[in-house]
Structure 1
Amino acid sequence: MASETERRSPNGGPGWKLGVVDTVEAIDPVAWNALTGGHHPFLRHEFLVALERHGAVGPDVGWVPQFILLRDDSGHLRGAVPAWLKGHSRGEFVFDFAWAEAHERHGLAYYPKLVVSIPWTPATGPRLLVAPGDDAGTIRAVLAEGVRDLTRQLGLSSAHCLFACEPDLEALGNGQFLRRRDFHYFWHNDHYQDFEAFLTALTSRKRKKIRQERRYVREQGIDVRMQTGHELCNTELDLIHAHYANAFRRKTNLPVLSAGFFREIAHTMGEQLLIAVCRHDREIVAAAIMFRGSDTLFGRYWGSSGNYPALHFEACYYQGIDYCIRHGLQRFEPGVQGEHKIARGFLPTRTTSAHWLVSPAFQRAVADYLQREGDLIDTQFEHLRAESPFRVDPTPTAGP
């Protein structure tokens, strides 16, 4: 269904309408990208449509677009929500399997559910998108209610907004969404002049360890260089994809992104696709795939053809830190998990998701669970923050 299905007229303005589309290609790219200004690579129309064209989203993989669109009386796009109909919980990085099992034990269906997020991508960012210059608070409130309305109209169990920003969380909270606390490991730029200045901010033991790891890479004769998608040919992109896919298969995971996907985004948004390309005797032996936003670098995928000591740290962490310093980016999100990141300058930073369950009984049960879980998360967070490698902790504790 490529046409836009009208759901209701909201209170955003006279004649304004909420609609839903089930394909990204039904949305005008210029109007969609204007909502975020291109600041967030995973929200660009080019990225989302490439996911769809190359089979990374859709009914076959359990990520069906249900994008909520808010238009004014002239048909102009004033707000939107990247929502997905999900038949499972894979690729979300916020784990609700216990909630699904509880529904099943009570004879209720948990799936399908509505998820507001970026598929397969645990990156923070806006989720209730608002056109520049508009009354952001009012539009976010309309969009938050639109998420709940769509959940009811489709007969779903629940709605979930993952890794959201604070303004979105506030709007969702007014619509009775529950907050779920967690943390990831982020690097923050404390106005470093260069990589050496960053190292100087660390304790001597951590500083020595990083220099040692970087020396190991040089001694193996491996050249690591950050390149944009525009700078790589299809042959190089295909080899990088092969390394990425093999890394997933070695862990018995499914590499959902195809070589065609990387070719397409290298062409359509190559300036925001950054790859730390690792060459030995001119052959690409490993790569770390990243994406650049206006103030944040996002690390996503790693793959290699063999075992190269310390190369993972160089490509996935140190190259990214150096790039952020040289280009004035404020934050580096290298991906989920990994307490080993702390010693390399990535400190626990809070992230938050929001959840609404249609069943009042389950909403109350989940609220109680999230309170108890959140207390444990807070304790673990403070314990890990105390392991900071910095001589003086320079970084914020909250995400965007």
Structure 2
Amino acid sequence: MDETHFQIRLINGLDEVDPQDWNAIANPASISYDPFLSWEFLEALEATEAASKATGWAPHHLLVETASSGLVGAMPLYLKSHSQGEFVFDHSWADAYERAGGRYYPKLLSAVPFTPVTGRRRLAKPGPDQAMIERTLISAAAQIADQNDISSLHVNFVTREEAANLDRAGLLIRTDQQFHWHNDGYESFDDFLAVLSSAKRKNLRKERAKAQDGLDFVHLTGDEITEAHWDAFYEFYMDTGARKWGSPYLNRETFSLLSERMADDILLIFAIEDGVPIAGAMNMIGGDRLLGRYWGTTSPRPMLHFETCYYQAIDFAIQRGLKTVEAGAQGGHKLARGYVPETTYSAHWIAHEGLANAVEDYLGRERLMVEREAGYLRERTPFKKDG
């Protein structure tokens, strides 16, 4: 097959795609399951208007189809009127371009809304035509931006391999870092503690003891999660959102719809005091990783955040045999808790040559800074130096 057989189509919502057709290319059996790419997750954001034109996330998903096979490729794509909720910060680029008389917004973004989790963005049916479909997707997306006088195209939180492919396709590559915990075949939390230095091991035990004093912690998945649990969690979520970024992204209906559709992919961790939840964390369960998303509390106390979001997540990952815990964006404080620096990648196409050249120069220097900082931090992990 050649690219002339491909039919390119833009849609304004995932309700225009059959869920099975989308999921077949988003999460094929040969690839570890990513709940954030599922039709159920992405469409729930649209159905509850968390990701919509009104919130600055207008869906314009790109599809590649053939007459014989139907949907063979897709790219989750949004027309953005701002840069909020992306976790890859280009506000300075927008400011510089607009001060020079340009119009940075709207821009095109391929990402999972509000979700700083690495994953596939060019969703192509596995097989001999996969690379061709992937090339078609990025080429079509850039052409759409160019032909509609859109300033730029951004592809956020791609894998390292995908970043290399997009680099070869002419996009500008940006790096950053997160902190992930890796399961080295541990059978218990004590097994994990055993590989830490003595001082760090003692510190983690003290933190857990302080956080757990007077509290019970429960893990809820699937049918164990009720609307009452979501009522409690939503209060935590709104409190954190109001304090950290002013306008929380999701609404109460979003959580109910996600739970209705994919409760088995959700882990709620609650801290309970006298039978009442006082803190909670929401995680998504992938094929081989646990993905932390939101947390909050109505009763702040020392170490509660670390216990609810980091240590309880490690406990669950060990019990389930998951390889990795990804606890969200940024957070150098995670290093002392056994979460190590991992490089993240994004790719960018910018129409204006002058802005593109300036950004390219900046990104080259930024990548060196990220690499140096990661090396510095890897020398300071809490693990035993002989291990």
Q: Alpha-carbon deviation of 1:138?
A: 1.8
Letter in 2 for 1:130: A
Could you say which residue in structure 1 is the equivalent of 2:15?
25
Does residue 204 of structure 1 match 2:194? no
Tell me if the contact between 1:229 and 1:267 (Cα under 8 Å) persists in the aligned partners: no
- Post-superposition CA distance 1:46-101 (Å, at most 9, x none): 11111112121111110011111010123611011011101111011111111111
Q: Alpha-carbon deviation of 1:12?
A: 4.4
Q: Alpha-carbon deviation of 1:14?
A: 5.0
Q: Aligned partners of 1:336 and 1:43: how far apart in 2?
A: 18
- After superposition, the Cα gap between the structure-2 partners of 1:245 and 1:345, relative to the gap in structure 1 and judged at 3 Å, is same
Does residue 142 of structure 1 match 2:132? no
State the 4+ residue runs in structure 1 displaced beyond 3 angstroms.
Answer: 11-14
Q: Structure 2 unaligned runs (5+)?
A: none
Q: What secondary structure, in the 3-state scheme, does the structure 2 residue paired with 1:163 have?
A: strand
Q: Aligned partners of 1:224 and 1:290: how far apart in 2?
A: 15
Q: What secondary structure, in the 3-state scheme, does the structure 1 residue paired with 2:264 have?
A: coil
Q: Aligned partners of 2:196 and 2:315: how far apart in 1?
A: 15
Does residue 269 of structure 1 match 2:262? yes
Could you say which residue in structure 2 is the equivalent of 1:352?
345
Kindly report which structure 2 residues correspond to 1:359-378, keeping only aligned pairs within 5 A, or say none.
359-378=352-371
Q: Aligned partners of 1:175 and 1:205: how far apart in 2?
A: 48
Identity in percent: 38
- Post-superposition CA distance 1:166-210 (Å, at most 9, x none): 343233223210111111111111122221111101111111111
Tell me if the contact between 2:123 and 2:134 (Cα under 8 Å) persists in the aligned partners: yes
Does residue 387 of structure 1 match 2:380? yes
1:80 to 49, 74, 81: 74
Could you say which residue in structure 2 is the equivalent of 1:327?
320
Tell me if the contact between 1:230 and 1:266 (Cα under 8 Å) persists in the aligned partners: no
Letter in 2 for 1:196: D
Tell me if the contact between 2:176 and 2:344 (Cα under 8 Å) persists in the aligned partners: yes
Does residue 214 of structure 1 match 2:208? yes
Tell me if the contact between 1:141 and 1:171 (Cα under 8 Å) persists in the aligned partners: no
Letter in 2 for 1:32: W
Could you say which residue in structure 2 is the equivalent of 1:251?
244
1:300 to 293, 298, 320: 293
Q: What secondary structure, in the 3-state scheme, does the structure 2 residue paired with 1:224 have?
A: strand
Q: Structure 1 unaligned runs (5+)?
A: 1-10, 395-400
Q: Aligned partners of 1:12 and 1:307: how far apart in 2?
A: 59
Could you say which residue in structure 2 is the equivalent of 1:35?
25
Q: Aligned partners of 2:323 and 2:47: how far apart in 1?
A: 32
Tell me if the contact between 1:12 and 1:139 (Cα under 8 Å) persists in the aligned partners: no
- Post-superposition CA distance 1:290-313 (Å, at most 9, x none): 101101111111111112322211
Kindly report which structure 2 residues correspond to 1:5-84, keeping only aligned pairs within 5 A, or say none.
12-37=2-27, 39-74=33-68, 76-84=70-78
Could you say which residue in structure 2 is the equivalent of 1:177?
171
Q: Alpha-carbon deviation of 1:112?
A: 0.6
Tell me if the contact between 2:160 and 2:344 (Cα under 8 Å) persists in the aligned partners: no
Could you say which residue in structure 2 is the equivalent of 1:123?
117
Tell me if the contact between 1:83 and 1:117 (Cα under 8 Å) persists in the aligned partners: yes
1:287 to 275, 280, 286: 280
Aligned length: 383
Q: TM-score, length-normalised on structure 1?
A: 0.92
Q: Aligned partners of 2:268 and 2:176: how far apart in 1?
A: 28
Q: Aligned partners of 1:64 and 1:312: how far apart in 2?
A: 33
Q: Alpha-carbon deviation of 1:369?
A: 0.9
**What CA RMSD, in Å, does the superposition of the two structures yield over aligned residues?**
1.6
Q: What secondary structure, in the 3-state scheme, does the structure 1 residue paired with 2:72 have?
A: strand
Letter in 2 for 1:85: L
Q: Alpha-carbon deviation of 1:133?
A: 3.2
Q: Aligned partners of 2:361 and 2:183: how far apart in 1?
A: 37
Q: Aligned partners of 1:393 and 1:103: how far apart in 2?
A: 50
Could you say which residue in structure 2 is the equivalent of 1:99?
93
Tell me if the contact between 1:14 and 1:73 (Cα under 8 Å) persists in the aligned partners: no
Tell me if the contact between 1:158 and 1:355 (Cα under 8 Å) persists in the aligned partners: yes
Could you say which residue in structure 2 is the equivalent of 1:4?
none
Q: Aligned partners of 1:201 and 1:372: how far apart in 2?
A: 35
- Post-superposition CA distance 1:90-123 (Å, at most 9, x none): 0111111111112112211011111111111111
Tell me if the contact between 2:267 and 2:282 (Cα under 8 Å) persists in the aligned partners: yes
- Post-superposition CA distance 1:220-266 (Å, at most 9, x none): 2x111111143111122111111111121233521221121111111
Q: Aligned partners of 2:110 and 2:220: how far apart in 1?
A: 31
Does residue 187 of structure 1 match 2:181? yes
Could you say which residue in structure 2 is the equivalent of 1:337?
330
Q: What secondary structure, in the 3-state scheme, does the structure 2 residue paired with 1:294 have?
A: coil
Q: Alpha-carbon deviation of 1:36?
A: 2.6
Letter in 1 for 2:336: A
Q: TM-score, length-normalised on structure 2?
A: 0.95
Letter in 1 for 2:184: D
Letter in 1 for 2:373: Q
Letter in 2 for 1:244: Y
Q: What secondary structure, in the 3-state scheme, does the structure 1 residue paired with 2:149 have?
A: coil
Q: Aligned partners of 1:159 and 1:270: how far apart in 2?
A: 33
